[in-house]
């Protein structure tokens, strides 16, 4: 299999422990980045109401003028690189808005928005494994839990602080170690669920770790204590809020670690991976299942699977969400009229007994292979006794899909 010569850009994220002076400098930088972003967004919004457009170059000129005013002179105390980068980010946000790929940009909130600053090569120095940011004299104390690629030269460095108070630095580098893998020739259908996180067309079922449930009692206790604190800028409320954030961070880290290991294994073992194109945004509106669906993180699973497949030369196929994978017999193609969620096994008229999830995964695989072979949307189905094909009958009803428990 041929290997492309271009390297993949990959971000390596590490935790670091700043000194008091570094933490104060970064906090000032975060505040200035937020201020400049909001000022530029306000200026572009006012121009938008006048049916005018303001581009990045114009906002950059505005930034120079703002620094010369007495009211915004504090912008000169931090590095200019993160301020310019936030203007570029705003330009990208407007480009996505005009391209109808995103909503209109929103203002950054001091309490809710992500605290981060991006530095380009002129804003940091990376030598002998030590990273020093602009306006700082000491290098950052980084916990290098994994090495960077040999000879790596970061192109951008992003510093951030999460709600739990942890500091992170992300270095964007070329990773020559990411290359397309040799073709395995295998394909697998993947059906997501709640009782089992994944069910493969091979019959394997992967348990749902239920990361949120394991810390639910601890989270509820921390939230009750936070609710009793008086609202405002008090120290006790800030401490209670941080304890809640630490529990959430623990849950998120555990979930992300499991999904990374799982998606890496699936991509390495299979050449073609077929999934279902679910609208998770609409499915979480179900109040009875929203917590379980959010904890399963199906959207994160899909995004990880897609970018890793692109890295390693694999193919991910998404089958239409209306495809009746659960109600369709993978042996003879007969479509069942009804399939309630409490039915986990069922027997078709042809005599085949199906496990609901395994059968759905097999049908997804067949539909995905049909897309690869001839561009078809679904697998050709045999007609039901009524004369109408199973797929047409299902498409005519268009009943909203419910998540498989």
The residue annotated as part of the active site, out of 191, 212, 295, 394, is 191
Residue pointed to by tokens 């799982």: 262
The SS3 assignment for 193 reads: coil
The residue annotated as part of the active site, out of 25, 118, 212, 276, is 276
Q: pLDDT at position 375, please?
A: 56
Q: What is the model's pTM?
A: 0.83
What are the backbone angles phi and psi of residue 355, rounded to the nearest 5°?
-80, 130
Kindly list the domain boundaries of the chain, sorted by start residue.
8-175, 180-208+255-405
Tokens read off for 278: 């679910």
Q: Give the rounded distance of the alpha carbon of 374 from its chain centre.
A: 31
Pick the CATH number of 180-208+255-405 from 3.40.50, 3.30.70, 3.30.420, 1.10.3470: 3.30.420
Active site residue 191: yes
Q: pLDDT at position 345, please?
A: 84
Cross-strand partners of 120:
156
Would you say residue 383 has pLDDT above 60?
A: no
Write down the mean pLDDT value for the chain: 87
Mean pLDDT of all residues in 39-54: 92
Cα–Cα distance for residue pair 58/73, rounded to 1 Å: 19
Cross-strand partners of 276:
319
Task: Tell me the torsion sign for CA atoms 107, 249, 200, 312.
Answer: positive
Q: pLDDT at position 237, please?
A: 92
Active site residue 20: no
Are β-strands 167-175 and 8-16 bridged in parallel, bridged antiparallel, or unpaired?
antiparallel
Active site residue 276: yes
What are the backbone angles phi and psi of residue 384, rounded to the nearest 5°?
-85, 170
Q: Residue 376's pLDDT band (boundaries 50, 70, 90)?
A: low
Cα–Cα distance for residue pair 128/158, rounded to 1 Å: 19
The SS3 assignment for 120 reads: strand
pLDDT, tens digit, 9 for 90 and up, residues 94-140: 999 999 999 999 999 998 899 999 999 999 999 988 999 999 999 99
Would you say residue 395 has pLDDT above 80?
A: no
Cα–Cα distance for residue pair 347/335, rounded to 1 Å: 12
Residue 368: CB partners within 8 Å, gap ≥ 6?
Answer: 187, 189, 272, 274, 317, 319
The residue annotated as part of the active site, out of 25, 118, 295, 357, is 357
pLDDT, tens digit, 9 for 90 and up, residues 259-305: 999 999 999 999 999 999 988 888 998 888 899 999 999 999 999 99
Contact 115, 5 (CB under 8 A): no
What are the backbone angles phi and psi of residue 151, rounded to the nearest 5°?
70, 20
Residues in the chain: 405
Would you say residue 48 has pLDDT above 60?
A: yes
């Amino acid at each position: 299999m041929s290997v492309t010569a271009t390297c993949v850009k990959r971000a390596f994220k590490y935790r670091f422990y700043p000194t008091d002076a570094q933490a104060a400098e970064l906090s000032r930088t975060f505040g200035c980045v937020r201020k400049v972003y909001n000022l530029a967004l306000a200026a572009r919004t006012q121009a938008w109401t006048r049916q005018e457009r303001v581009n990045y170059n114009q906002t950059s000129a505005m930034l120079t003028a703002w620094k010369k005013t007495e009211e915004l002179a504090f912008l000169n105390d931090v590095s200019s690189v993160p301020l310019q980068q936030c203007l570029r980010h705003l330009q990208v946000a407007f480009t996505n808005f005009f391209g109808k790929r995103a909503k209109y940009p929103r203002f950054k909130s001091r309490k809710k928005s992500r605290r981060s600053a991006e530095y380009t090569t002129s804003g940091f120095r990376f030598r002998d494994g030590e990273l020093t940011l602009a306006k700082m004299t000491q290098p950052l104390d980084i916990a290098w839990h994994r090495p960077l690629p040999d000879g790596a030269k970061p192109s951008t460095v992003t510093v951030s602080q999460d709600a739990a108070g942890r500091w992170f630095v992300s270095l964007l580098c070329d990773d020559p170690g990411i290359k397309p893998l040799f073709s395995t020739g295998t394909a697998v259908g993947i059906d997501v669920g709640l009782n089992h996180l994944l069910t493969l067309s091979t019959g394997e079922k992967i348990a749902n770790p239920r990361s949120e449930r394991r810390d639910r009692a601890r989270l509820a206790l921390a939230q009750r204590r936070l609710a009793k604190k008086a609202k405002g800028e008090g120290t006790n409320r800030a401490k209670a809020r941080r304890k809640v954030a630490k529990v959430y961070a623990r849950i998120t880290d555990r979930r992300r670690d499991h999904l990374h290991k799982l998606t890496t294994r699936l991509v390495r073992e299979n050449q073609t991976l077929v999934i279902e194109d679910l609208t998770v945004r609409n499915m979480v509106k179900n109040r009875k299942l929203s917590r379980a669906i959010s904890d399963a993180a199906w959207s994160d699973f899909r995004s990880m699977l897609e970018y890793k497949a692109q890295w390693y030369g694999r193919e991910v196929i998404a089958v239409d969400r209306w495809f009746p994978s659960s109600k369709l017999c993978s042996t003879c193609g007969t479509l069942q009229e009804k399939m309630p969620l409490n039915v986990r096994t069922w027997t078709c008229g042809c005599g085949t007994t199906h496990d609901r999830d395994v059968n759905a995964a097999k049908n997804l695989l067949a539909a995905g292979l049909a897309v690869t072979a001839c561009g078809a949307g679904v697998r050709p189905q045999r007609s039901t006794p009524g004369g109408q094909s199973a797929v047409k009958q299902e498409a005519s009803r268009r009943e909203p899909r419910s998540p498989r428990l």
